[in-house]
A and B are shown apart, each in its own frame.
Chain A
């Protein structure tokens, strides 16, 4: 079960956060700061799965952006790792070479994308959902 899905940059600014379980709002900021600190302290040779408190973190770095997913022990860590990449690939398709700026500004797009259940979307289908006219 995925517990949360975060996109945080190296300075600790949250670009996207999606929680699938209820966490108090002030605890969320603390969690995000702590998580990014843990991820930043890892070197490149270390593995992408961290045991954090009573769940696991799976993180992937894309340029200056960290995508962190928190899972419990029933999930296949490597499948979630692939899932993160799938997510990014869809964004990439939609924005044609997505960058952090795109994600920050099109926050709602990204939200809706991640909101699309916790099921990976095929790249083509994903594009449909993200067509989002600015109001």
Chain B
């Protein structure tokens, strides 16, 4: 055999022993034939092994191909870290194709967490000064993608140099690389400042675009830069104007608009520059108006630009005409058929609703329509926006829509919607009955999604609306008859049945058809709640306490109640057991206190508000807010004072005050109720006795027919005012008002003035009337009577006098004067006849 032949055979052997690695396309084709995940994994592992051995051979020719395959496998989700060093070797190679794959691999596989990446620094540095612009471009790209802070620090100078070159391809890439450098190492920002001088003088849109990005980044990061670049606003405005006015330019056209991406970027930069700055904002007003009116809205591109314009207008200090224009654009968006546009409009309106409330209100009906949209994101936005738009005027209509929405929406919305409805109802409810109806509706439709703190709030609301008790308890009873799985609903219902069970069985409801319920039926439902598996421990506690309370309200079923309570004395649930044991003790040893302990809850003071809450101005259906039992802010009065006043007015037809509740009363539903029992010590008359005790608390009937301040529309004029008290420099005057439509109510405004030379502080005015009258005391204007008659305290008293008897009143005054506490009692008898006849 000849030499050549032997060599050929050698080569052939070599080739057979070492097959060339397959091309990327082959690999992709092979993987596509895999039918299962396991097959694919097998193929990939085989190929990985081949690649690994090839890397070990240090084969330069096929390294590029192997790394490409590795990148593909990495994209599919398989680990490819063993290729990192190979990428570095590729980058160091002289061939462009190698470099390209190497840099791509570096961008995808390497980041600053890997130690090897620092080895790249030198290569990148060399390549940044390469003769071929494409190589330089690759290096810039890679640095701008995954450069760590050390690399950026080292190479920032090179980048800055390239930012000033004449080659626009390189300038564009250098600008983006600079953005990354600034992000990583903010201190280097000043280095790039000189290069930015001419950035906006570009003709090339690519460079212009990246320059604007660079400027945006700098302005966002540093307020100094921001101030410095404000002077560029006129230039930006000019560029934008050219873009809009210029004719068709095929290079930059997208659906008829010239370079919309650049327009959006410039608008964003203008937004940043104009924020909080009047001059810049003024400079941009015209161009913004021009963009807003001239942009074509038939395609998505135009709408994208309009959206950015609206955002900019809202953010800078624009004039009001421009803002109205922006909101109208958003309104137009809302009517558009395209979902994307509607979503975007709703998002922006949400941002502006606080500042331009009235303008947004105009689009309320469209927004409410969006609640019925099929898209989840749109629904959520529409819901948030609807809550923001609710006010006293539209509450009824909006609530109807919102309740309907609550019915039909996805579970993820229900909790938020329920809370929102509660808040809105609390703020704007036109009437108590409406409020209770709304809350009941929420509880029955979304009961399990209601937040825990809604239960005590609701209970407090119910106690406050005394005239609605019968109606409320009836509705609640009916609601849980069918279904007692929704815990908040059951808790509220159990509490109410416990409190007002007597009203339920006596069928006293005025608002709707009273239902016939026996005591046994009521106990049945409460017992089923106790037994049910669906009831939580808290709910069971409510139910047990309710049953216990009914022992004083019901007459024939006390034995049954005793039995139920004693059963739970051995319950596994510790809370339940404790309650049952204590109630048992109540039956056995403390039976004489039982009726006192379990009597009706008094009106709860709302923790947050301490004065009359804002009177809602609606169309004549107002009710004054929850009333005070004592004038604040003097705090709770001790029980004895109430006793004194009542004693004064003729003793024997007044039921004796029951002494302060012993603190061993078992925990009842709602922690705050227990606190109040210590403070307030008024006699809620036991349900059987007629409510004839003169009370300082709110009498329900006084509220009907009263409108809010100004007190009366048709004041019966000419009732003379009187001086009710004048002693020690303190003078109290009464002025009267009566309405022709409701003559049994007299409204007395007292004015307290102080003619001494020192102020009277902590001034408290109290009044009591005979039992045929009812009295309501609103809170005073302040508690300090300034000296030398320089000011007065005003307070309003409303007296209900249905029998038209002569008005008599006992007043008690307490105040601090000259460092000592003063107290005085007086009787007012000089009421003019016109005030009560």
Q: How far is the CA of A78 from the CA of B374 in the complex (A)?
A: 20
Q: Which residue of A lies closest to B307 (CB)?
A: A78
1/0 per residue, CB under 8 A from A, across B239-276: the answer is: 00000000000011010000011001000100000000
Q: Which of A89-135 contact B (CB under 8 A)?
A: 104-105, 107-108, 111-112, 115-117, 119-122, 124-125, 133-135
Let me know if B340 is at the binding interface, CB within 8 A: yes
Interface centre among A20, A46, A104 (most CB of B within 10 A): A46
- CB pair B79 A78 closer than 8 Å: no
Q: Which of A28, A77, A86, A108 contacts B68 (CB 8 A)?
A: A108
On whether A14 and B65 interact (CB within 8 A), knowing A48-B340, A111-B104, A135-B97, the answer reads: no
Residue of A nearest to B220 (CB): A74
| B324 CB–A CB distance under 8 Å | no
For residue A79, CB closer than 8 A to chain B, the reply is yes
What A residues does B311 contact at CB under 8 A? 76
Known: A82-B254, A122-B206. A47 touches B77 (CB 8 A): no
Q: Is the CB of A49 within 8 A of B77?
A: no
B377 and A83 within 8 A (CB) = no
* Contacts A45-B375, A51-B377 given; does A82 touch B107 at CB 8 Å: no
Cα-based distance from A71 to B702 in the complex (angstroms): 60
Q: Which residues of B contact A81 (CB under 8 A)?
A: 300, 304, 340
Choice from B173, B261, B300 contacting A117 with Cβ under 8 Å = B173
Compute how far the CA of A20 lies from the CA of B179 in the bound complex, rounded to whole angstroms: 14
Contact residues in B for A119 (Cβ distance below 8 Å): 176, 206, 209-210, 213, 261
Q: Please indicate which of the listed interface residues B209, B304, B380 has the most CB atoms of chain A within 10 Å of its own CB.
A: B304
Cβ < 8 Å to A, chain B residues 175-219: 176, 205-206, 209-210, 213
Instruction: Pick from B21-29, B615-623, B667-675 the stretch touching chain A.
Output: B21-29
Residues of B within 8 A of A77 (CB): 340, 343-344
Docked-complex contact A47 and B251, CB < 8 angstroms: no
Chain A residues near B210 (CB-CB < 8 A): 117, 119
CB of B25 within 8 A of CB of A105, answer yes
CA distance A84 to B77 in the complex (A): 23
Q: Report if A61 contacts B (CB, 8 A).
A: no
Separation in Å of the B135 CB from the closest CB of chain A? Answer: 14
Say what secondary structure dominates the interface of chain B. helix
A125-B252 Cα distance, complex, nearest whole Å: 11
Distance of A132 Cα from B77 Cα, bound (Å): 25
Return chain B residues, CB-CB under 8 Å to A53. none
Residues of A within 8 A of B374 (CB): 43, 45-46
Q: Is the CB of A76 within 8 A of B343?
A: no
Write the chain A residue with the least CB distance to B308: A76
Chain A contact patch, size range: 35 or more
Q: A25-B77, A107-B28 are in contact. Are A124 and B251 (CB under 8 A)?
A: yes
A88 within 8 A of B: no
Most buried by B among A46, A78, A104, A111: A78
Tell me if B173 and A49 are in contact (CB < 8 A): no
Is A2 interfacial (CB 8 A cutoff)? no
**Is B76 an interface residue when CB atoms closer than 8 A count as contact?**
yes
Q: How far is the CB of A29 from chain B (nearest CB, A)?
A: 4
**Known contacts A47-B378, A119-B176, A134-B25; A125/B76 CB under 8 A:** no
Contacts A78-B300, A108-B24; A45 near B308 (Cβ below 8 A) = no
Query: How far is A27 from B311 in the complex, measured between Cα atoms in Å?
Result: 35
In the complex the two chains form, what is the Cα distance from A106 to B108 in whole Å?
Answer: 17
Would A117 and B343 be within 8 Å (CB), given that A17-B75, A104-B28 are in contact?
no
- Complex contact A14–B206 (CB within 8 A): no
Q: Which residues of B sit under 8 angstroms from A116, Cβ to Cβ? A: 141
A119 to B375, CA, bound (A): 30
A50 to B381, CA, bound (A): 12
Chain A hits for B213, CB < 8 A: 119
Q: B303 on the interface (CB 8 Å rule)?
A: yes
Contact A83 B251 (CB under 8 A): no
User: A107 and B72: CB pair below 8 A?
Assistant: yes
For B75, give its contact among A16, A82, A124 (CB under 8 Å).
A16
Q: Which residues of the partner chain A approach B68 to less than 8 Å between Cβ atoms?
A: 108, 135
Q: With CB as the reference atom, state the residue of chain A lying closest to B23.
A: A134
* Inter-subunit contact B104/A76 (CB<8 Å): no
- Nearest first, the 7 closest Cβ-Cβ pairs linking A and B are A47-B339, A78-B304, A46-B375, A29-B77, A47-B343, A79-B264, A79-B304
**What are 11 A-to-B residue pairs whose CB atoms are below 8 Å?**
A14-B77, A45-B339, A49-B343, A49-B377, A76-B307, A81-B304, A82-B260, A108-B101, A111-B108, A122-B252, A134-B25
Given A14-B75, A81-B304, A105-B28, 20 other A-B contacts at CB below 8 A? A22-B113, A28-B77, A46-B375, A47-B342, A49-B377, A76-B264, A78-B344, A82-B254, A82-B260, A83-B261, A107-B75, A108-B71, A111-B104, A112-B104, A115-B104, A116-B141, A117-B210, A122-B205, A133-B97, A135-B68
Residues of B within 8 A of A (CB): 23-25, 28, 32, 64-65, 68, 71-72, 74-77, 79, 97, 100-101, 104, 107-108, 111, 113, 141, 144-145, 173, 176, 205-206, 209-210, 213, 251-252, 254, 260-261, 264, 268, 300-301, 303-304, 307-308, 311, 338-344, 374-378, 380
